[in-house]
Amino acid sequence: MKLDNAIRAIAGTFIVISILLGMYVNPNWYWFTVFVGANLFQSAFTGWCLMEKILLRLNLVKE
């Protein structure tokens, strides 16, 4: 899987899971959704993404 596709898939999965957890477990899980969104926003401007670094270090994706 390519790096960009993996980042989008992971971010989308995190968002859906955190929204479901917020609805059915505890509303504080919505803060995780905010965290993921804020990281996506800052990476659009800075080009730095922690998940990208993690995936590359673990050799799980191709660059």
pLDDT at 1: 82
Global pTM reads: 0.85
- Tell me, what's the pLDDT at 57? 93
DSSP string, 7-60: HHHHHHHHHHHHHHHHHHT-GGGHHHHHHHHHHHHHHHHH---HHHHHHHHTT-
pLDDT: which is higher, 31 or 1? 31
pLDDT digits (tens, 9 = 90+) for 14-52: 999 999 999 999 999 999 999 999 999 999 999 999 999
What per-residue confidence (pLDDT) applies to 46? 96
Banded model confidence at residue 62, pLDDT cuts 50, 70, 90: confident
Check: CB of residue 58 under 8 Å from CB of residue 52. no
Going by the DSSP 8-state scheme, the letter that residue 63 receives in this structure is -
For the chain, which residues make up each domain, given as ranges?
3-57
